[in-house]
Structure formats: C-alpha cells, structure tokens
Structure 1
Amino acid sequence: MMRSLYLAIGLLGSMAVTAQKSDPEAKKVLDAVSAKFKTYTSVQAGFSYKVEDSKGKVQSNKTGSITMKGNKYKVNFGTTEIFCDGKTVWSYDKSSNEVTIDNLDASSGKLTPQKLFTNFYDKDFLYLLNGEKKLGAKTVQEIEMTPTDKSKAFHKVYLQVDKAAKTIYSTKVLENSGNRFTYTVTTMKTNAAVADALFTFDKKKYPGVEEVDLR
C-alpha cells in the first residue's frame, strides 16, 4: 500500500530509461511540474485513495495527508504515520502501537515523496502524452507511463496534471495482479511555515509504543 502511495502522490526511481522512446511533449509537462515543485518551501496536501479489483469493483476508499519541507516529510494514511527528518525514517503502526526506525539512505535509489514530485520519471519510465480533458472547471493533461523494469509489480501508471497549476492532480497505478490504485489530490497548500519537529517521531506522545530499531 505504501509502495503505491510513494509512487503516486503525489504523493512513488532507480533504473535507466531509454529517453529517445519517450514523448518529448510529455517530458515538457513533467519538467514543468518538477520545476514548479522546486519553488515551494513546503507543501501540505490532502488526498483520496481508491482501490479497485480487475473488474472495476471498488474495494476500498481512504483519505490521507502529506507534508513536505526540503528533504523532510510526514505522511498520515489509514493506521500508518511515517516521519522523516531527512536522516531517519520512523514508520508507526497505530493498530499495533509499534514504530519501526531505519536510516534514510539517499543513495539507495528508494523513492521518497519529494522524488515523486521532481524528476523520478527520467529514471523509471517511458512516457507518452495522451492529451487533455476537462474535469469540471479544471483542464488536466494525462501522461501514460510504462516502467522500464518489467519485473515491477505494476505495468502502467496514468498521471493527470493540472494544466494551469502545473501540479499533479491524480495518479492511477495498474498492478499486474489486476488491482488498480487511484490517488487524487484533494487539497494543496504551499509555502506555509512548518516546524521541523513535525518530521520527528516523539515517543512521549505514544505511550507504550514498541520500538523496532533497524539502524
């Protein structure tokens, strides 16, 4: 679930891409999203999450939120809270009152929320601009993305970009199993003052929490 979340929000690189096979018009759209994101000192976003089976039947509907500042982030999603201060990652499971602690390895190629708003597409995907469509008063540009690594658990990602705002509006991930995960950004606030303490797990606020330290 969290793997799909990081891929999508936003909101999911490590492989090489055959750039000449990608659509240059799609790259222009993605580059504009990346450039716009890099101008923000902070981002606070709410999102909805929908899971469908291979027949299109809705299996789950949830909501979540994410706050990002520099290389720090905080995610709230279902029973999970993830904190990252840029060096350490704390993954807290409310249902078990357990937190897993690990180092953030920036060189490992793992996805972070920040990467998903910047240049992850250049290393992971071939991409094609499918065109534009109206969603209410909003015009979105849809980009079809295919992972270059065929061993991935998903075979297609459809990214919708708000044309005017140059921000990601929604992401749909098609898994090889047939399941489909759709994330839609419902709210976004940028450049707000956010205290660094938000990105650190404070165990005093979680009485009785069990710590699993993997560092």
Structure 2
Amino acid sequence: MIKKHILFIGLLTVAFFSHAQSSSKAKALLDEVYDKVKSYDNIYIDFTSTIENTEANLKQETHGNVTLKGEKYFLNYFGAQQLFDGDKVYTVVPENEEVTIEDVNEDADNVSPSKMLTFYKTGHNYSWDILQNAGGRKIQYVKLTPIDSNTEIKSVLLGIDTQTKHIYKLIQTGNNGTKTTITVNSFKTNQPLSSTLFTFDEKKYEDKGYYITRN
C-alpha cells in the first residue's frame, strides 16, 4: 500500500512538472510572437476565415484582409468594411447602404482585429500542442484555455511559424460547438499607408444617401 502511494505521488509530481514545463514553453513562444508583432509600425494580413458547426449544418468560408497599426484597424470582410480609429468602430455595408457607428465592446468574447495578434497575453492558461508541416513551414501550435469559466470560448489553438514567429492560423472553438478558423495567406509589415486610412469620413456616406445608425 505504501509503495502504491509513493508511486501515485511520484506520477503526480511528474505530471505537475511536465505541465509546468509545457506551459512555460508555450508562454515563451507566445512572448516571442508578441515582441515581434510590437516591433512593427503596421501589419497587413490577407486571410481566409471558415466558420463550422456540424450540429447546425453550418459551413461558411470567406476571404478578407486587415491593416493594423497599434489599436487601429481597417478590415474588409464579408463584403463589408470596418474601421476602428482608436475611439469608435465604423461598419460600412455597401449592399445595404448602411453605416453603423458604435463604441468598442471590451467585454465581448470574440477576438477583434486589433486584438487578434495580442489577445493571448492575458486571461488564458497555455499548453504546448502539436507541430505540423504546412507547405514546408513548421507550425507549432499552442493551446489557450480561458481562465474565466463563463466565457463562450472553450479553447483557442494558435499555429505559429517557428521561423518567422508570425501567427499562421487561429482555431477558436466555442462552447456551442462552433469552430472558427482563420488562416493567414499573406503577412506584410511596415507598408506605406494613406494618412486617412483610419479616418472615417461621415459626410462621404451622407452624400451617398447611406443610412447612418449610432449605437
């Protein structure tokens, strides 16, 4: 009986240190990614987004692109444009000739474009996951589990290019079974940007007859 207890305690100790080492490795890699992202003046990302839910028989795929500079962003996605100027979020839907202006929802579970490359810094437990080969590139996955048990997100897998330290893929799984996958097709940095890229011209849309809603 004593030997069994000693063996059990030994296994627990090995498991604990193995988890701690996994968490430490994962955090160290994420810190490298964070430092790399913060070193750029701006970032342009072309991506493919897939939303799947087997039970709801849902599968939707679309392409998009986003330009990031600090907290500001300009996003083209689902035929719409979204701009964050550091204060307000402006969503333009040409198909409906509609503009929505709203404050940022800091409590939202979804990862906003401005947080896509840095959201993992807080509020998560980390663990080392699988290593995959994607077209000759080594992609190391890190699994993030939200510390807050009330969140709608079950887990997030971040695939990181081990050479460039850039995020290649984000796979978010919700508690409702919905899986959102964002795959980076092109990652460009320090591009020449228009001085008005992150400025919303409300009059331009008023002149076009767009319906403008403020939330």
State the TM-score bracket (shorter-chain normalisation).
Answer: 0.7 to 0.9
Report the 3-state secondary structure (helix = DSSP H, G, I; strand = E; otherwise coil) of the residue aligned with 1:29: helix
Report the 3-state secondary structure (helix = DSSP H, G, I; strand = E; otherwise coil) of the residue aligned with 1:117: coil
Instruction: Provide the TM-score with structure 2 as the length reference.
Output: 0.80
Aligned to 1:90: 90
- Whichever residue aligns with residue 208 of structure 1, its letter is G
Q: How many residues align?
A: 192
**Deviation of 1:104 (Å):** 4.6
Aligned to 1:140: 139
* Structure 1 segments unaligned to the other structure (5+ residues): 1-19
Seen in structure 2, the aligned counterparts of structure 1 residues 54 and 149 have a Cα distance that, compared at 3 Å, is farther
Aligned to 2:201: 202
The one of the two structures with greater contact order (alpha-carbon pairs below 8 A, sep at least 6) is 1
Alpha-carbon distance in structure 1 between the residues aligned to 2:30 and 2:198 = 27
Alpha-carbon distance in structure 2 between the residues aligned to 1:56 and 1:182 = 17
**Deviation of 1:76 (Å):** 0.7
Seen in structure 2, the aligned counterparts of structure 1 residues 41 and 202 have a Cα distance that, compared at 3 Å, is same
1:138-188 per-position Cα deviation (integer Å, ceiling 9, x unaligned): 001101111112222220111100110101000111112212111000011
CA RMSD of aligned residues (A): 2.4
- Whichever residue aligns with residue 158 of structure 1, its letter is L
Aligned to 1:49: 49
**Deviation of 1:22 (Å):** 7.5
Alpha-carbon distance in structure 2 between the residues aligned to 1:129 and 1:53 = 26
Aligned to 2:183: 184
Seen in structure 2, the aligned counterparts of structure 1 residues 179 and 137 have a Cα distance that, compared at 3 Å, is same
Instruction: Provide the TM-score with structure 1 as the length reference.
Output: 0.80
**Deviation of 1:57 (Å):** 6.9
Seen in structure 2, the aligned counterparts of structure 1 residues 197 and 124 have a Cα distance that, compared at 3 Å, is same
Aligned to 1:150: 149
Report the 3-state secondary structure (helix = DSSP H, G, I; strand = E; otherwise coil) of the residue aligned with 1:26: helix
- Whichever residue aligns with residue 81 of structure 1, its letter is Q
Alpha-carbon distance in structure 2 between the residues aligned to 1:176 and 1:113 = 21
Report the 3-state secondary structure (helix = DSSP H, G, I; strand = E; otherwise coil) of the residue aligned with 2:176: coil
Correspondence 1:166 to 2:168: no
Report the 3-state secondary structure (helix = DSSP H, G, I; strand = E; otherwise coil) of the residue aligned with 1:24: helix
Alpha-carbon distance in structure 1 between the residues aligned to 2:117 and 2:149 = 23
Aligned to 1:36: 36
Report sequence identity in percent. Answer: 31
Seen in structure 2, the aligned counterparts of structure 1 residues 100 and 181 have a Cα distance that, compared at 3 Å, is same
Aligned to 1:125: 124
**Deviation of 1:53 (Å):** 2.1
* Structure 2 segments unaligned to the other structure (5+ residues): 1-19
Alpha-carbon distance in structure 1 between the residues aligned to 2:120 and 2:38 = 15
